[in-house]
Amino acid sequence: MRIYHDMTEWSRLRQTLPSDLSLGFVPTMGNLHRGHASLFQRSIKDNDATVVSLFINPTQFNRADDFTHYPRTLEDDLELLTQAGVDYCLLPTEQVMYTDGYHYQIQENHQSQCLEGTARPGHFTGVLTVVMKLLQLAKPHRAYFGEKDYQQFQLIRDMVNAFFMNIDIEVCPTIRETSGLAYSSRNNRLTPEQRQIADQFATIFHKDQSCEHTIAELEALGVTVNYVEDHRDRRFAAVTIGDIRLIDNYALNVRDVA
Ligand code: PAF
């Protein structure tokens, strides 16, 4: 795997790649787990080459302590990427990503006004802005996102269409532990007791019952419920266990966990 710290050097290489070579891209914030690995595998299967970025994007954290506590596991991440068979890894610095001082932003004013957008002011502006920048750098044919962050996937897909960017945005299924808990970088921060509660959150959230019943069961468990809501054909949830915020969602007609 070739690692690029210098984006000018990467852009030079990118220009030399044959135009008929299909390039898949998976943007990440590192602290990689099986959920990410499934995105790399899918990109490797679909494309001639795969590029992954590791960049902990400060502008999408609405709480400074969340950014500070985000796990930084670069060595393990590079090992996982190499084992997975990823071809290129981009490691841009904050200085390079935000040479403009974050004066230019991508702001969505419709679909981002609910769920995570309401709960985390500024979050999606940070996500869309950094993804736009990363797509401009990587110049992929396809980019891969997890279903776990479904609202993020929808916003990125629609941004790419709105700005006539010729990139296929693909969504890959949520990867779950045996308990049904979705893999997330935040799971590593749960204490063993919180972990058990998180497993129960997954079970309760997937029960075939109303949002109100789910909220009541979760609250009885001692979980702080941010929201459990149905939007179109999907159910979404965000909860806080201790100080760890977890999100999940699933299609209402296709249950992936009993
Ligand atoms: O899903 C994530 O890890 C991030 O939101 C992303 C898409 C890499 C942008 O920083």
CA dist., res. 161 & res. 140, Å (int)? 15
| Catalytic residue from among 5, 33, 36, 110 | 36
Q: Are residues 102 and 63 in the same domain?
A: yes
36 tagged catalytic: yes
Residue 145 CA, ligand 1 centroid: distance in Å: 8
Give yes or no for a contact between 231 and 114, defined as CB atoms under 8 angstroms apart: yes
Task: Please tell me whether residues 120 and 189 are part of one structural domain.
Answer: no
Question: What distance in angstroms lies between residue 94's CA and the mean position of ligand 1's atoms?
Answer: 14
pLDDT by residue for the chain (258 residues), tens digit each?
999 999 999 999 999 999 999 999 999 999 999 999 999 999 999 999 999 999 999 999 999 988 998 999 999 999 999 999 999 999 999 999 999 999 999 999 999 999 999 999 999 999 999 999 999 999 999 999 999 999 999 999 999 999 999 999 999 999 999 999 999 999 999 999 999 999 999 999 999 999 999 999 999 999 999 999 999 999 999 999 999 999 999 999 755 544
If one counts every other C-beta atom within 10 angstroms of the C-beta of residue 191, the result is 11
Nearest protein CA to atom 5 of ligand 1, as residue: 127
Q: What angle do CA 22, 134, 74 make, to 5 degrees?
A: 95
**What is the CB < 6 Å shell around ligand 1?**
27-29, 57, 60, 127, 130-131, 149, 152
Full residue range of the structural domain in which residue 223 is found: 185-250
Domain end call among 131, 150, 172? 172
| CATH of residue 198 | 3.30.1300.10
Residue 208, in any domain of the structure: yes
Mutate to test the pocket of ligand 1, among 77, 152, 167, 172 (most ligand atoms within 8 A of CB): 152
CATH number at residue 15: 3.40.50.620
Please identify, among 148, 172, 196, the residue that sits at the C-terminal boundary of a domain: 172
- 157, exposed or middle or buried, with CB in 10 Å at 0-12, 13-18, 19+? middle
In the beta sheet, which residues pair with residue 54? 28
